[in-house]
Amino acid sequence: MVVSYHNPGILIIGGLAAAILSFIAFRLRVRKDDRDALRVANTRRLKELPLYRSTLIKIRILRILAAAGLILSLVAALFLTARPYRRETVKDTVNRRDIFLCIDLSSSSSRGVQALVEDFKEVVSSLDGDRIGISLFNTSSIQYVPMTDDYDFVQGRLDELAAYFAAAEEFATNYADKYDSVYDIPESERERYDELNGILAAFDEGVTAGYELKGTSAIGEGLASCLFSFPELVSEKRTRVIFFITDNHPELLDDPLVTLEEAAEMCRFDNVSVIGIYPGSGAPAGGQASGESQAAGTPEDEIRQLQAAAESTGGRFYGSGDSVTAQEMLSDIDALESKDTTTATANVDTDMPEFWTYLLIAGVVLLTGTTAFFVLKRGIRKGRTSRKVTAAVLLLLMIAGTAVVFIRPMYLSPSAEIMTSNLDVTFVVDTTISMWADDGTAGTRIDSVKKDIREIVGALPGSNFSLIRFDNGAQIMIPYTQDLSAMEYVLDNLNMPDYATAKGSSLNTAYEAIHSMLESASRKGENRRSVVFLFSDGETTDGSTLKSFSELNSLVHNGAVLGYGTERGGRMKYPGKGYIKDVSTGKVALSHLDEASLRQIANDLGLSYVHRNEDFSGSLGSRLQNIRRMSREVALRAGDRTGFQETYHYFAGGVFAVLLVWLFLTINRGGVA
């Protein structure tokens, strides 16, 4: 346990004060004038008497105890005035599960899925603490929603997915099943046709990559891809389940890379339960699926194969005739054992005055006891009355102050530290190849970004964090969550994009993803604040013109745009292949910081621009303090946060001052009383 001090300078100032005061008291000490004293001869025999010796020893012991009490009290009061505290990393551990909704988007199964998506929206609204993800597949797979506990974001994505299936149904009914060719569609229906085509293309382009060569409905690959979308699949033990919605009707042109049986075996190996759902027509019927439950045109063995795969993982299977309701899904989730996982982590400062308080009490007790003994031994009426009054007053002040320190009074204070749990913080990270240039403050530029993100996360405890990466396209790696292990996992796996497929750099790529996250945050209530940190070198290499980000200004309350790199440029080293070369010159390519673009975005968003070439505390520390202050003001205005301020250290300072007076009198005139 490491103990620090809120006011460490007090230790130096107090120590110097005690030393200087002792020196002055010694120099000005009162010396007894014994020139007129009556001298007594032959006292040696008197000093050898047992009574005399025992009394002398007793007095010396009491003086040692008095000195020890004074020193103990001084040291304890000084350390209490400095206000000792311990900083703890508090981790919120809860029971939770990770749930993936894995959906086959092939045309053969789309009609029965829409009702299941609507049911899953009800499932999401009933969860508390569990994380949700959505994976879509056909020929290829995409992670539509990374694992998150931001239910508002998930609901928004499910709404978009439901709109896609509604559009697919309308497209099939009004166009695909009605007309043999696009040329047969009347001009009056063309506008709606194009609109539906755009909605479908937005989803289908991501899941049909290479379908000309591969075919469609790669069922086993879809399940396997979803499995490996679970964060920290191997290193962290969680309860995991996949709701796998498919008709298991592959239409591939060659053998699959992964069969359904192999994907199910992978799930079983990693303790992931699969709940297989055959969408069918959506018509309800009772009972659990059997091999006889099938849709027209779907081979019986494909349904049996899907059922066997799901049940082999310890999951269940629902066929085309089963009523798969939200309540059924929730029952399946509740049947799974939930494991403890860590979510929000916060640094909490806890005052630790107990040890020094007990030392102070011990010292004051020794001082009080020894002083009372000497006064009583000498006699109440003997000696100077002024000295006795002085000793009594000082002792009463010490005792009263020590009692207050022991009680530790506190008061409600709006300036007390609180967790910034009303902040939604979005990290927007440029992961184009230039961010691997070697002119960052901590190695490469991307290394510097990772270091800064970790610093910001530690400075804003309790916040919801999300992360967007952008290179060829933008990807929401983490929707808003307090699960810091997920953030660490993503940061550790921010890898350089493939040089062969890189399309150049443009800050415009991140716009829509930023807009999506900020819109999600804005729906959470008026007492929340959105914070954006954009990390980039500002370089544009695809020939595009930077668009305005000013439309996002009203959704952003604080943050910063951070620039990485230098004007002289940095070299980019591709793993295992050396430095990247400029194809036009054959020389090693250099990437240069473009501050003009970053300043424009910062101005559009109403944020500050920071060139990250200096110490973190210097360039970002004050901005993070402003963010914490904003969070505190909003929380207190909303009435959902209270803070208590300690006051014991003020009274300990008073006791220390009284003890300095006692020290001065002890040295200056040989005692207080």
CA distance 147 to 137: 16
CA distance 568 to 598: 17
pLDDT, residue 109, reads 57
| Bridge partners (DSSP) listed for residue 452 | none
Stated as kind and residue range, the H or E segment containing 291 is none
Q: What is the 3-state secondary structure (H, E, C) of 526-566?
A: CCCEEEEEEEECCCCCCCCCCCCCHHHHHHCCEEEEEECCC
- Please, are residues 104 and 246 in contact by the beta-carbon 8 Å criterion? yes
Residues lower than pLDDT 50 in the chain: 281-297, 415-417, 639-642
Residue appearing with tokens 């699949």: 233
pLDDT, residue 280, reads 64
Please name which of 438, 428, 425 lies closest in space to residue 465, comparing C-alpha atoms: 425
Q: How many CB atoms lie within 10 A of CB 338?
A: 15
Please name which of 242, 276, 279, 246 lies closest in space to residue 116, comparing C-alpha atoms: 279
- Please, are residues 226 and 137 in contact by the beta-carbon 8 Å criterion? yes
CA distance 173 to 179: 10
| Bridge partners (DSSP) listed for residue 340 | 95
pLDDT in tens, 115-152: 888 888 888 888 877 889 999 999 999 888 888 888 88
Residues 395-409, buried b or exposed e (16+ Cβ, 10 A)? bebbbebbebbeeee
| Dihedral over Cα of 117, 121, 122, 126: its sign | positive
pLDDT in tens, 505-543: 789 999 999 998 998 888 877 678 899 999 999 988 888
| Bridge partners (DSSP) listed for residue 467 | 427, 478
- Please, are residues 65 and 658 in contact by the beta-carbon 8 Å criterion? no
pLDDT, residue 419, reads 55
pLDDT in tens, 154-198: 988 899 898 888 888 888 889 988 888 888 899 889 899 988 988
Q: Answer whether CATH 3.40.50.410 is correct for domain 98-238+247-337.
A: yes
Residue appearing with tokens 């000084």: 78
- Please, are residues 141 and 106 in contact by the beta-carbon 8 Å criterion? no
CA distance 398 to 412: 27
pLDDT in tens, 491-507: 988 888 877 666 677 89
Using DSSP, state whether 21 is helix, strand or coil: helix
pLDDT, residue 236, reads 65
Residue appearing with tokens 């968003």: 605
CA distance 642 to 636: 7
- Are 98-238+247-337 and 423-638 the same fold in CATH? yes
The residue extents of the domains of the chain are: 3-31+42-87+349-414+649-669, 98-238+247-337, 423-638
CA distance 238 to 244: 19
CA distance 114 to 279: 9
Using DSSP, state whether 7 is helix, strand or coil: coil
Question: 310 is written with which tokens?
Answer: 């799901």
Q: How many CB atoms lie within 10 A of CB 640?
A: 12
Question: What's the one-letter identity of residue 508?
Answer: N
Q: How far is CA 80 from CA 22, 51, 349, 395, 655, in A?
A: 21, 43, 16, 19, 10
Q: Is the pTM of this model over 0.75?
A: no
pLDDT, residue 30, reads 65
Question: What's the one-letter identity of residue 419?
Answer: M
Q: Answer whether CATH 2.60.40.1760 is correct for domain 423-638.
A: no
CA distance 611 to 25: 56
Question: 551 is written with which tokens?
Answer: 């439309």
